[in-house]
Amino acid sequence: MPTVHLLDYVAGNIRSLVNAINRVGYEVEWIRSPEDVKNAEKLILPGVGHFGHCLSQLDQGGFLEPIRQHIEAGKPFMGICVGLQALFRGSEEDTEVPGLGLIPMRIQKFNDSSKSVPHIGWNSAMNTGDDSAKQQSFYGLRPISKYYYVHSYAAPYKPGALENDGWSVATATYGEEEFIGAISRGNIFGTQFHPEKSGIAGLRAIRAFLNGDRLQSLAPESVAGKGEDGLTRRVIACLDVRTNDTGDLVVTKGDQYDVREKSGVDAGGQVRNLGKPVDMAKKYYEQGADEVTFLNITSFRNCPLADTPMLEILRRASETVFVPLTIGGGIRDTVDTDGTEVPALDVATMYFKSGADKVSIGSDAVFVAEEYYNAGEKLSGQTAIETISKAYGKQAVVVSVDPKRVYVDRPEDTNHHTIQTSYPNAAGQRFCWYQCTVKGGRETRDVDVRQLVRAVEAMGAGEILLNCIDKDGSNSGFDLELINDVKAAIKIPVIASSGAGVPDHFAEVFSKTTTDAALGAGMFHRGEYTVSQVKEHLQKERFLVRQFEA
């Protein structure tokens, strides 16, 4: 197998990039010292987290100058995400830390006054320039394809500025802002998106870079059928995973979080077994799921952390699933079976190294939100959310919320934020608040969902996975009132979850709320609908979705 060199300094999910490189027929050799850069022919610089952190790490490790020399020598270089940003002069994210300065522009933060930031999801990389430039693609990028982005900072696009300097540029639009999605000149290729997480379209870009296929003519139908720019609606498949009564790790699914069978041969308390986690993740990827989430809904108390079965599930899933993987359950400060105290950051690191792109924090987020308010809304800097977000970037930290409705006669009857609901309870009460729960809904806490999401946003969470215990497994559609209430309270993206039963529920949640993504579980696991059917329906209803490329 031919080789490519990969810099080993980064935190984050490097495993998926290695898997993607292997998939297109190359082997990875690690760069562990600045000396190794000299031996590299093709070099990839991945980057996650903060611009300043990445660039300072590279600088302190003595890598910056060898990288500059590699590029100046005309050898193939690819920068991914912060790896692309490193090519610029600097970034608003850390004004003190300089970039490589090959591009005399600065990276800027997205404007969050009218849209969620970070920008998370599938967006375009469309060639700029005149009509003849648009007939060509660089490194296999296609106008009809979508690519996975996750970032708060980007290079704003200024027409002609880079093209006049010999660069090929592909852009994407987020809200009112057009930014650089990919650039290339001579031996340099940079992508703001993550090609290793962008399905077949991303693998095509990696293959083209490694094979040295810089420019290709686009097929006429690709040019004519130029895709629609902008962020797509994300459809996520969720796998609740736990050990069943015979000790096997299975995908299960509850009704209002109760996962035991109530009818059929297993009636009387067996855990519902809906399939094997890795096989099901692959199936949903092949159906066009934009992300796959695994929730470990029970903790593996008797198992040393390093052998947690979820790690193996992630390792195996990331070999075949080239879209983002989220893992939730048990992300908190932990005591291992031998008595060793393991901070949440180390637990998360194990998951990232095994192929996770994001970790999802449930119960621990509620406990730390309580402490945050008790301390007068002061950050401690020590919570799992803060430490993981600081090390890996906020896009890597999801907070999973498990709220349920508490009805009251009047808003004055509670200290919590209430909504007037169109769905009164049996007693006719027309107001409710959403109470946060922990331990898979087993225990309620004196925190409402608004308090929770505001606290975790302040701590550096990048996204909210918004479940709803009342709706879970009901097939009656999402809780639109809850979603609108949460969306109005925060800037970070929200994933609507719980209640999807038919494809039209996805169309409904996207038209009646401003949710950023929607998640389904039971309807997919029971084989009632496929992810592709949901996407076809969304497309029919004129929502922009990512087409699955075979």
Task: Kindly list the catalytic residues.
Answer: 81, 194, 196, 240, 402
Among 90, 181, 440, 493, contact with ligand 1PR (rule: CB under 6 A): 440
Taking CB under 6 A as the rule, does residue 325 contact ligand 1PR?
Answer: no
Taking CB under 6 A as the rule, does residue 291 contact ligand 1PR?
Answer: no
Nearer to ligand 1PR, 168 or 498 (CB): 498
Cα(84)–Cα(5) distance, integer angstroms: 16
Among 79, 181, 329, 503, contact with ligand 1PR (rule: CB under 6 A): 329
166 is in an annotated binding site: no
Among 85, 400, 515, 532, contact with ligand 1PR (rule: CB under 6 A): 400
Give the Å distances, CA to CA, from 58 to 29, 35, 190: 18, 13, 17
Among 47, 202, 462, 522, contact with ligand 1PR (rule: CB under 6 A): 522
Of 6-14, 150-158, 356-364, 404-412, which part binds ligand 1PR (CB under 6 A)?
356-364
Task: Please give the residues from 71 up to 130 whose contact with ligand 1PR meets the rule CB under 6 A.
Answer: none
Among 19, 360, 418, 532, contact with ligand 1PR (rule: CB under 6 A): 360
Cα(137)–Cα(142) distance, integer angstroms: 6
Of 62-70, 322-330, 375-383, 411-419, which part binds ligand 1PR (CB under 6 A)?
322-330
Among 196, 319, 357, 402, contact with ligand 1PR (rule: CB under 6 A): 402
Specify the 3-state DSSP secondary structure of 22: helix
Q: How many residues belong to the chain?
A: 550
Instruction: Judge whether 497 and 240 are in contact, CB under 8 Å.
Output: no
The continuous run of DSSP H or E covering 518 comes out as: strand 517-520
- Residue 538: partners with Cβ closer than 8 Å, 6 or more residues away: 233, 235, 503, 506, 507, 510, 545
Nearer to ligand 1PR, 223 or 359 (CB): 359
| Exposure string over 514-524, b if 16+ CB within 10 A, otherwise e | ebbbbbbbbbb
Taking CB under 6 A as the rule, does residue 140 contact ligand 1PR?
Answer: no
Instruction: Judge whether 466 and 481 are in contact, CB under 8 Å.
Output: no
Q: Which residue is nearest to ligand 1PR (CB)?
A: 440
- Residue 21: partners with Cβ closer than 8 Å, 6 or more residues away: 4, 6, 27, 28, 44, 196, 206, 210
Of 102-110, 229-237, 272-280, 325-333, which part binds ligand 1PR (CB under 6 A)?
325-333
Joined together, the tokens standing for residue 47 give 């980057």
Nearer to ligand 1PR, 207 or 242 (CB): 242
Among 58, 206, 259, 396, contact with ligand 1PR (rule: CB under 6 A): 259
Taking CB under 6 A as the rule, does residue 355 contact ligand 1PR?
Answer: no
Q: What share of the chain is helix, strand, coil (3-state, %, to 5)?
A: 30, 25, 40
Least distance (Å) from ligand 1PR to the CB of residue 366?
8
| Exposure string over 361-374, b if 16+ CB within 10 A, otherwise e | bbbbbbebbbebee
Taking CB under 6 A as the rule, does residue 277 contact ligand 1PR?
Answer: no
Of 108-116, 301-309, 454-462, 519-527, which part binds ligand 1PR (CB under 6 A)?
519-527
Report the relative pairing of strands 431-438 and 403-408 from DSSP bridges.
antiparallel
Taking CB under 6 A as the rule, does residue 437 contact ligand 1PR?
Answer: no
Q: What is the dihedral of CA 205, 206, 209, 213, to 10 degrees?
A: -50
Among 318, 387, 435, 467, contact with ligand 1PR (rule: CB under 6 A): 467
Cα(51)–Cα(441) distance, integer angstroms: 38
Beta carbons within 10 angstroms of residue 96's beta carbon: 7
Q: What sign results for the dihedral spanned by CA atoms 496, 502, 503, 508?
A: negative
According to DSSP, the residues that pair with 398 across neighbouring strands are: 360, 463
Q: In what order do the strands lie in the sheet with 153-154?
A: 88-91, 103-109, 153-154
Number of residues this chain uses to bind ligand 1PR (CB under 6 A): 30
Taking CB under 6 A as the rule, does residue 466 contact ligand 1PR?
Answer: no
212 is in an annotated binding site: no
Nearer to ligand 1PR, 329 or 355 (CB): 329
Least distance (Å) from ligand 1PR to the CB of residue 465?
7
- Residue 11: partners with Cβ closer than 8 Å, 6 or more residues away: 48, 49, 349, 352, 391, 392
Among 85, 187, 191, 498, contact with ligand 1PR (rule: CB under 6 A): 498
Contact pattern for ligand 1PR over residues 237 through 256, marking x by CB under 6 A: -x-x------------xx--
Among 515, 520, 529, 535, contact with ligand 1PR (rule: CB under 6 A): 520
What number of H helices and E strands is found in the chain? 18, 30
Joined together, the tokens standing for residue 486 give 């949460």
Nearer to ligand 1PR, 137 or 363 (CB): 363
467 is in an annotated binding site: yes
The binding site comprises 81, 330, 467
Residues of the shown chain interacting with ligand 1PR in the complex, contacts defined by CB under 6 A? 238, 240, 253-254, 257, 259, 295, 297, 328-331, 360-364, 400, 402, 440, 467, 472-473, 497-500, 520-522
The binding site for L-glutamine comprises 81
